A and B are shown apart, each in its own frame.
Chain A
Amino acid sequence: DGGITQSPKYLFRKEGQNVTLSCEQNLNHDAMYWYRQDPGQGLRLIYYSQIVNDFQKGDIAEGYSVSREKKESFPLTVTSAQKNPTAFYLCASTQANTIYFGEGSWLTVV
């Protein structure tokens, strides 16, 4: 089945660590996105990529980094510079007017 796969589902980060969240899609979509969702809040855009080897900052890019070396992959690194990283992270891709989401990854700082 076509879709977006995020891993891991749950991740714990120690203070000062960088962690990477994986996002893979087999939908052959050009555009991919990373959103952050905090409890009771809407989604906020972290980074997006319209095409391979190109990506743009969203509203809350500070403390995050991404790469887009392959069309199907858009990993997100949460760096130690992100002071409040505990949240639910959603990866998405779009084709025409339709956006598809992965199942999300929970990141907790311990």
Chain B
Amino acid sequence: KQEVTQIPAALSVPEGENLVLNCSFTDSAIYNLQWFRQDPGKGLTSLLLIQSSQREQTSGRLNASLDKSSGRSTLYIAASQPGDSATYLCAVYSGGGADGLTFGKGTHLIIQP
């Protein structure tokens, strides 16, 4: 069964720093990987979706990479801002229908002003 691990569980950095969030998965046979943002008490907002054939996706200050063979993905946030403070979750889709989507527990990010 697919397992998704996110490290670190929590991270606090000063405003303006570049930072990297990590996501690893145990079964490399995936269709895609998705990064989400979750604000406290809110639902999930999709940030980036990387198909298994892709190496990276970019949106504004966010860049996500995927190394399927090693079971790893990183989310790079450039020039962090206090508004980036949230929990970031990654999820992998391994196929087989709706129950093929596996979420990590998330990284709780705090950007200090």
Which residues of chain A (1-51) have a CB below 8 Å from chain B?
4, 6, 31, 33, 40-43, 45, 48, 50
Chain B residues contacting A45 (CB-CB under 8 Å) are 98-99, 101
Minimal beta-carbon separation of B49 from chain A (angstroms): 6
Q: At the interface with chain A, which of B11-19, B36-44, B60-68?
A: B36-44
Chain A residues contacting B51 (CB-CB under 8 Å) are 97
Chain B residues contacting A104 (CB-CB under 8 Å) are 41-43
Say yes or no: B45 contacts A101, CB within 8 Å.
yes
Question: 8 closest Cβ contacts across the A-B interface?
Answer: A101-B43, A48-B98, A42-B103, A101-B44, A43-B103, A42-B105, A103-B43, A104-B43
Minimal beta-carbon separation of A64 from chain B (angstroms): 15
Say yes or no: B98 contacts A33, CB within 8 Å.
yes
Say yes or no: B101 contacts A42, CB within 8 Å.
no
Q: Which residue of A has the minimal Cβ distance to B5?
A: A42
Minimal beta-carbon separation of B90 from chain A (angstroms): 10
CA distance A98 to B89 in the complex (A): 15
What is the interface of chain B mostly: helix, strand, loop, or mixed? Answer: strand
Q: Which residue of A has the minimal Cβ distance to B42?
A: A103
Say yes or no: B46 contacts A98, CB within 8 Å.
yes
Say yes or no: B43 contacts A42, CB within 8 Å.
no
Q: Name the interface size band of chain B.
A: 20 to 34
Minimal beta-carbon separation of B36 from chain A (angstroms): 8
Given the known interface contacts A42-B89, A42-B106, the answer about A48 and B43 at a Cβ–Cβ threshold of 8 Å is: no
Binding site for A on B (CB under 8 A): 4, 9, 31-32, 34, 41-46, 49, 51, 89, 91, 93, 97-99, 101-106
B43 partner, pick from A33, A50, A58, A102, beta carbons under 8 A: A102
Q: Which residue of A has the minimal Cβ distance to B105?
A: A42
Say yes or no: B49 contacts A90, CB within 8 Å.
no
Chain A residues contacting B93 (CB-CB under 8 Å) are 97
Say yes or no: A100 contacts B46, CB within 8 Å.
yes
Chain A residues contacting B32 (CB-CB under 8 Å) are 97
CA distance A26 to B31 in the complex (A): 27
Chain B residues contacting A109 (CB-CB under 8 Å) are none
Chain A residues contacting B31 (CB-CB under 8 Å) are 97
